[in-house]
Structure 1
Amino acid sequence: MKFILHNCSEQERLKYLQIFNEKYDYPQEYNKSFIVTQKVYDIYKLKPSRCLILDIHTLESLGEVIPCDLLVYSNVANPLKRFQKKSCRYFGYYDYQNYDEKELLKFSFEHYKKLDVIDNNIFIVSPFFDYKNIEIPKKYDGRKKFYKEANRHFDRLHEHFDTLLYFQGNRPDTNNRLIPESFYYKKEIEIIPNGIQDSVILRYTDILENGLKKYQLTDVDRIISAFLE
């Protein structure tokens, strides 16, 4: 099995590996499976038997030329494109998605690393990095804060805060990971809503009421089962 990073540099590959190694406990030999491709033909030469694509943008860019059956996580609404010479199965869960088979995109929490320390800081997030008009509740006065920024990576992010303050944007956040991960690490979470029913609100409400169990990746997951058929 290969993890393909298409149109990336070797430097970017090493950056992704650093992030994975910070976050997950997994066998180090898996690092060799992360490969960079610069041309579509590089993917073709791998002669894959099946390919899992986790967003519609990648499907639109590469779907026509990948020479095998496709499994696609339908993160946004799309026309469910079909191909003449290969099958394409779409997975999704929420009303703003369209798909063939219903399945959550889950998390392998059993492989998440334990935190060594947790700082008493507030992590402030607006999904599209628009902080001009936000108003931070006064109850957070006096506490150290830091912000999610485009193209900035925080080493071992979850060790730097115990409170997540999330401001919804003006368009849907279609596949938010931070909410489930913050629940897993037992953070305090506050969402400042903007009236949008997206993955942030839906996952937050669901986990608050029902816990994390159904978000744990297992070997009976529909997407994984289809990939390993």
Structure 2
Amino acid sequence: MKNVLYYFLNHKKINGTLFYCFEYFACAKQNDPNIIFNIYNISPNDLEIVKNIFRERYVVPEGYLDDVKALNSISELYKTTYTKTLILDLHSFQRTYMFIKNDILCYSNDSHSMERSTTKNVTYYGYYDYQNFDHKTPLKLNFSIFRPIYNTGKKIFVSSRRYNYKEIELPIELQHKEVVTKAESTHHANLFEIFDTMYYFHSDFDTNNRLIPECFFYDKKIVLQLNAKFKDSIALRYEDILKNGLRNYTLDHTDKMICDFLE
């Protein structure tokens, strides 16, 4: 048996990594029904909230949600008897690595020291120059399970990292639209049915942005304000999708990390 593992962030409960984990879990589970998605450090109430958000965002068998489980102690984690663990962020890896006895596949969402072990294999995946990895592959989205949307509101969704939304001045041509933003640990039900335009204000490094490919998938207008001198996943993903479409970011059973996890 194998598992996807995520360390729950109580200060940022609903975030992109949580969705990436569920999407990789669902992709792997289509090929191996014994795959489990373990969320470490999550309360029973938050677990039910997360499951309901998954039900809203994705079309998957209800049995998949039954296999999203909580782990809430180091001893419980240490007692697990999996053959492989897939981890998609360094925070989860660093908080759990020492207590996992089996082989680990870790996505390097940022730069880090590449921990190795004499008792288990640790393999790193990444894509951009600012990531350390053994194998090159982008972090992808499982569009095959995305729930279709049937309505499109006229609002504008404003996104940014570490920036006061009240200080963001929209371009003149967008100032007439009602603004929607995301606060920490909140979730907008049916978010992609609320807005038709996404405005991204680039204020900080964004390592594996998923909003841009999501907006392309749902056919939203995308407006970027690129303020930084560096190139991270914002500009790189936007330019790549304009040129090549979503194929480089579409998760399926041929993905390198999925293949290695299921092997």
TM-score scaled by length of structure 2: 0.84
1:162 partner SS: strand
What residue in structure 1 maps to residue 206 of structure 2? 173
1:36 is matched with which residue: 67, 70, 82?
A: 70
Asked if structure 2 preserves the Cα contact closer than 8 Å seen for 1:129 and 1:150, the reply is: no
Aligned length: 228
Gaps of 5+ in 1: none
Q: Are the counterparts in 2 of residues 126 and 148 from structure 1 also a CA contact under 8 Å?
A: no
Q: Does 1:19 align with 2:53?
A: yes
The answer to whether the aligner puts 1:60 opposite 2:94 as a matched pair is yes
Q: Matched residues in 1 for 2:223 and 2:131: separation?
A: 25
Matches within 5 A, 1:134-213: 134-169=168-203, 171-195=204-228, 196-213=230-247
Matched AA of 1:154: H
Work out whether residues 54 and 72 of structure 1, in 8 Å CA contact, stay in contact via their aligned partners in 2.
yes
What SS does the aligned partner of 1:63 have?
Answer: helix
Q: CA deviation at 1:87?
A: 0.5
Query: Cα offset for 1:132?
Result: 4.5
Within the alignment, does 1:6 sit opposite 2:40 as a pair? yes
**Aligned residue for 2:84?**
50
Find the aligned partners of 2:125 and 2:142 in 1 and give their Cα distance.
Answer: 18
Contact (CA 8 Å) 1:129, 1:148: kept in 2 or not?
Answer: no
Equivalent position of 2:24 in the other structure: none
Letter matched to residue 161 of structure 2 = P
Residue 66 of structure 2 aligns with an amino acid whose one-letter code is K
Shift of 1:58: 1.1
**CA–CA distance in 2 between the matches of 1:28 and 1:217?**
21
* 1:101 is the counterpart of 2:128: no
* Letter matched to residue 191 of structure 1: L
SS of alignment partner, residue 98 of structure 2: coil
RMSD of aligned residue pairs (Cα, Å) = 1.1
The amino acid across from 1:44 in the alignment is Y
1:142 CA displacement: 1.9
Contact 1:122 1:163 in 2 (8 A): yes
Question: In the TM superposition, what is the alpha-carbon distance from 1:133 to its structure 2 partner?
Answer: 3.3
**Cα deviations by residue, 1:53-87 (Å, 9 ceiling, x for unpaired):** 11111111110111100000000000111012001
Q: Equivalent residue of 1:85, what SS?
A: coil
Q: Is the 8 A contact 1:55 1:73 kept in 2?
A: yes
Q: Which has the higher relative contact order, 1 or 2, with Cα contacts under 8 A spaced 6 or more apart?
A: 2
Opposite residue 187 of structure 1, the aligned amino acid is K
Q: Name the residue aligned to 1:217.
A: 251
* TM-score (norm: length of structure 1): 0.96
CA distance in 2, matches of 1:109, 1:215: 9
Task: Give the CA deviation at 1:129.
Answer: 4.2
**Which residue of 101, 109, 114 corresponds with 1:75?**
109
